[in-house]
Amino acid sequence: MRFPSPPPRARFFVRCLICQPIRPLFVVYGAGSQSPCRDAYLEFGYCWRSSMPLRCLSPSKMRLVPASRRVSKHITIAGSRTYSFNHTRTINMATAHKIKVPVTNTGLWKFKQQDSSADMVSELLQKDLEKHHVFFNNDGFHNHIPHHLLALYGTGAGPEAIQMGYKENENYQRPAKNSHDGVADELHDWEKAKKYLGRERHYPDFLLFYQREIERLGGWQEALNEHLFKGDERADDMFQRMFAGFLHPIIQLMYGVEWEQPAILAEGLAQAAVHKNELKPFFEETERRAREGGAPMPRIAELVEEVRGNEKLVGAVRMGDRNKVFDGVLVRAPEEMKDIASKVRVSAEELDERTVEMFHACAWIAGCAAQKPGKEARWDFFLIHHLNSSPIFLSFNAAPWISTENKIRMLEHKIRLDLVQYAARGSPELRIDAVRSYRPKDQDLKKPLVSKPTDLLSRFHKIPDDGHTIKVVRALGICQELSAKYAGRPWIKIKDDEDWLKLHYSVLDGTEHVEEKWVRTTGLDEAWKVSNLWTPLHGRLTNVRPDHTCAQLTSRWHESKTVREAWDECSGWCGTSRMVKRGIHCYNIYSLFQPNPISI
């Protein structure tokens, strides 16, 4: 690591921040001096004394506030003199086993935070790491606590809101499991590791393995290059699994990378490892076709319009499909989908702009799909995951330790899956004029409207859910700032600040004081017709008819998580009755309905 020249008569002071163990302090004289430690673990400033001791110093001589806070600007050396620094950086004491969020790192959407919030989010994330499983049930529904808390923290939420977010979601989590003897050791051998892939029960083994790998390789950057970007069979397999599970592994990874938390990053890798790699054939085929093709890539919006204009793709999904990607699009119109997805090919010169274009397209698709004539605005539960995961590609692009080739591959995979998911949601009509004409509920209630989205954050922080809402808000905020840099480009669909504010209001109106926060598959009229099946009052089932399918019912119950009472007894359906208690959140109710229970 090379430093610029210090001011006259000043000396650089460098400390290695590796915390297991904490290494001594090093004094580096003059410009261009070379530190023996890795860049990521160095904190430096300069001192105005004319001389400093040449020997290494004990860490105990440094007067520190608690870990993950600022180093004091005063340092006592050899028990006598005090030296003042002109510059300090925040210590990140996080390790593969310890989460410590710095007060100065609030993610990509820059907000000033307070020490109490940093303390709270660090404490609760550590508690989640140690006490909770990655899935909260046996059907693979994801624990969202890490993203939820960091999204709150990254939007300026105080400790009370962060604690509320945790309390809302801890009661239904499954407890963490112990790793199996010897399995983590076997995972070093790829041939032996294959038998454990895609198996939820081995999540603790993969988590331990990746924690050890981060330590063995000397940091989380090295671990990602080895296990995600290396280009061998193992890395390519993990590369593809990152996009499984409606992008949850890469969302988990995103928060680990953005906040430089090795433990959360290890969770993301482990989570990917226990998902099935069902997208492998699609990714490999479309990547091969893209390499063979030579035509320039169209704008993403043009590819979206091509999907919507393809009758076979538009008709490829059914409300009753168990999984609308693998039982719908990739079964009923696989070639049509691959033909369009194969047109995605990003050049190195356009990487940055294409990344923002992808992000903007996700906001445009999800925001416009939420507008249904005659219906209250509701965002699509699956489309929002493509928006919420988009910030990680900004972090990837900013990382000099990731090759340009890998940045491009990752982005291309994301765009292709964005197109698949749009088709899987029934290719909803995208009318930006519906966004511009949106009338917020506050206007009908005679409440004054705010002038910018950040003025709504305090209300978003109070919404009880599992984190999806605040993640959408954060993604929209980041995307708005980025899109402004490309104003005037033909691919910009959300033109001005008023459009962005309307999107935020539509999110607020669909999630504040309502039980049914999302629609699942906004392109299908049937998905919007079941909005009255669930009455929040007393958690009672209403308006259920024999012709309602299981898919209709479950598509509207998934987010009913704030009902505090036990669910009413469900009886008289197929001769079955069961009390579904608080905390299960209606997933076990699947068995009450015929035909075949489904998961979504």
- Per residue in 174-202, pLDDT (tens digit) is 999 999 999 999 999 999 999 999 999 99
pLDDT at residue 262 tops 60:
yes
State the average pLDDT over residues 562-589.
32
How far apart CA 174 and CA 167 sit, in angstroms, is 14
How far apart CA 74 and CA 371 sit, in angstroms, is 56
State the average pLDDT over residues 131-150.
94
pLDDT value at residue 174 = 94
E runs forming strands in 69-197: 74-77, 81-84
Tokens (6 digits) for 222: 């090295």
pLDDT at residue 153 tops 50:
yes
Among candidate residues 154, 166, 89, 156, the one with its CA nearest the CA of residue 126: 166
What are the two backbone dihedrals, phi and then psi, of residue 137, each rounded to the nearest 5 degrees? -150, 180
What global pTM score does this model have?
Answer: 0.78
pLDDT value at residue 93 = 84
What are the two backbone dihedrals, phi and then psi, of residue 191, each rounded to the nearest 5 degrees? -65, -40
Task: Identify residue 475 by its one-letter amino acid code.
Answer: A
pLDDT value at residue 529 = 82
| Cα within 13 Å of Cα(220), Cβ side | 26
For the chain, domain boundaries: 11-84, 115-273, 299-521, 530-592
pLDDT at residue 595 tops 80:
no
Q: Are strands 570-573 and 576-578 parallel, antiparallel or unpaired?
A: antiparallel
pLDDT at residue 532 tops 80:
no
Lowest mean pLDDT among 88-97, 469-478, 508-517: 88-97
Tokens (6 digits) for 331: 């079964």
State the average pLDDT over residues 550-560.
39
Please, which residues have CB within 8 angstroms of residue 152's CB and are 6 or more apart in sequence? Answer: 121, 161, 162, 165, 461, 467, 470
Mean of per-residue pLDDT scores for the chain: 81
Angstrom distances, CA of residue 353 to CA of 350, 385, 478, 482: 5, 21, 15, 10
Query: In this structure, are residues 287 and 216 in contact, taking their beta carbons and an 8 Å threshold?
Result: no
pLDDT at residue 336 tops 50:
yes
State the average pLDDT over residues 57-66.
31
State the average pLDDT over residues 53-57.
33
**4 band by pLDDT with thresholds 50, 70 and 90:** very low
State the average pLDDT over residues 271-284.
98
Among candidate residues 154, 59, 24, the one with its CA nearest the CA of residue 102: 154
**92 band by pLDDT with thresholds 50, 70 and 90:** low
pLDDT value at residue 294 = 82
**61 band by pLDDT with thresholds 50, 70 and 90:** very low
Q: Are strands 570-573 and 540-541 parallel, antiparallel or unpaired?
A: unpaired
Angstrom distances, CA of residue 511 to CA of 173, 213, 446, 504: 22, 40, 19, 11
Number of CB atoms found within 10 A of residue 102's CB: 22
| Cα within 13 Å of Cα(571), Cβ side | 3
Tokens (6 digits) for 43: 């904190």
**524 band by pLDDT with thresholds 50, 70 and 90:** very high
Lowest mean pLDDT among 41-45, 393-397, 470-474, 531-535: 531-535
**pLDDT higher for 540 or 210?**
210
How far apart CA 3 and CA 23 sit, in angstroms, is 20
| DSSP string for 364-377 | HHHHHHT--TTS--
**pLDDT higher for 544 or 95?**
95
Tokens (6 digits) for 548: 């309602």
Lowest mean pLDDT among 88-92, 411-415, 491-495, 552-556: 552-556
pLDDT value at residue 14 = 47
pLDDT at residue 441 tops 60:
yes
Of the chain, the percentage scoring pLDDT greater than 70 comes to 73
pLDDT at residue 382 tops 90:
yes
How far apart CA 139 and CA 293 sit, in angstroms, is 40
The per-type count for the chain, helices as H runs and strands as E runs, is 26, 11
pLDDT value at residue 140 = 87
Task: Identify residue 170 by its one-letter amino acid code.
Answer: E
